[in-house]
């Protein structure tokens, strides 16, 4: 008998240790691909959003409390890798919450976000393994909770979630990662290689956000370009930072008008 995709998503969200969350994610994604998890039409409504399961460390602090470190030392590079690993760990939960929270979406919507969560778990493992090879581990540095805070703010509306989490916060990686790869090349090729993989796959993740944002706009009968601009102004002024990777964002489904809105509101 097939299980419920929503129950599996909730269980992945609840998993607290990195090992448990990654294992549960890969197992649920594989079961979904085999047709062993179904999208229940009469499932109970989602529970109110709350902090997902997470380990006791890293300690979560305000972004201003995070020290700036350069790439000139092993500890500086480890702190950078840790920051990216933390984003990927949060992104696992963001993928599963997109599955769990928003009901009545097309089957392909759920397939897309299950696949994203599965990718993010693999990205986290690549980065954590790299950290461990340097004598560090996930939890050794402080981190912030900005990604999940935006998920809480958009828990009421799939349209707002698709606009603001994949297309604003996660898309920031499209802007900054190429420069990070350039800086790392020659001194830490192993990490640069991992970031190349992540950058390539994150374009598809942001594209999923673009696709489902537009689908939600059609369902709501609203024009996506002005609605995106309104959401940016309402929620995202404080987190918009240029310059933007125009080529990658265009590949991820941003229109010329949306790119202009980003640039105007970040100025």
The answer to whether residues 139 and 104 touch, using CB atoms and an 8 Å cutoff, is: no
Q: Tell me the DSSP string of 60-106.
A: B--GGGSPP--SSSHHHHHHHHHHHHHHHHHHHHHHHHHHHH--S--
pLDDT of residue 224: 95
The answer to whether residues 220 and 159 touch, using CB atoms and an 8 Å cutoff, is: yes
Question: For a pLDDT cut of 70, what percent of the chain falls above it?
Answer: 99
Confidence of residue 32 (pLDDT cuts 50, 70, 90): very high
Q: Which domains does the chain carry? A: 79-266 (1.20.1260.10)
Give the range among 64-68, 145-149, 159-163 with minimum mean pLDDT: 64-68
Confidence of residue 2 (pLDDT cuts 50, 70, 90): low
d(CA 257, CA 267): 16
pLDDT of residue 1: 56
Query: Per the structure block, which two tokens stand in for 80?
Result: 């950078």
Q: Which residues are bridge partners to 3 per DSSP?
A: 37
Confidence of residue 216 (pLDDT cuts 50, 70, 90): very high
pLDDT of residue 195: 97
Q: Assess whether pLDDT exceeds 90 at residue 37.
A: yes
pTM score? 0.95
| Sign of CA pseudo-dihedral 196, 83, 255, 162 | positive
């Amino acid at each position: 008998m097939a299980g419920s995709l929503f129950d599996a998503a909730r269980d992945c969200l609840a998993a607290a240790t990195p090992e448990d969350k990654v294992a549960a994610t890969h197992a649920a994604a594989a079961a979904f691909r085999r047709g062993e998890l179904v999208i229940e039409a009469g499932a109970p409504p989602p529970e109110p959003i709350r902090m997902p399961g997470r380990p006791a460390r890293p300690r979560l602090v305000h972004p201003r409390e995070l020290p700036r470190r350069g790439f000139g030392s092993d500890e500086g590079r480890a702190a950078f890798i840790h920051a990216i690993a933390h984003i990927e760990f949060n992104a696992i939960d963001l993928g599963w919450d997109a599955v769990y929270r928003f009901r009545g979406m097309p089957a392909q919507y759920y397939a897309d976000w299950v696949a994203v969560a599965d990718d993010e778990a693999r990205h986290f493992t690549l980065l954590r393994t790299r950290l461990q090879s340097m004598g560090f581990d996930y939890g050794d540095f402080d981190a912030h909770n900005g990604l999940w805070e935006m998920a809480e703010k958009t828990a009421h509306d799939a349209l707002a979630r698709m606009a603001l989490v994949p297309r604003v916060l996660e898309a920031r990686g499209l802007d900054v990662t190429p420069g990070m790869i350039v800086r790392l090349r020659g001194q830490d090729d192993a990490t640069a290689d991992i970031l190349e993989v992540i950058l390539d796959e994150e374009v598809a993740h942001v594209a999923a956000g673009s696709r489902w944002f537009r689908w939600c706009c059609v369902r709501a009968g609203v024009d996506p370009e002005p609605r995106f601009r309104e959401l940016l102004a309402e929620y995202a002024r404080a987190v918009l930072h240029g310059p933007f990777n125009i080529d990658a964002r265009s590949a991820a489904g941003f229109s010329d008008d949306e790119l202009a809105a980003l640039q105007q509101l970040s100025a």
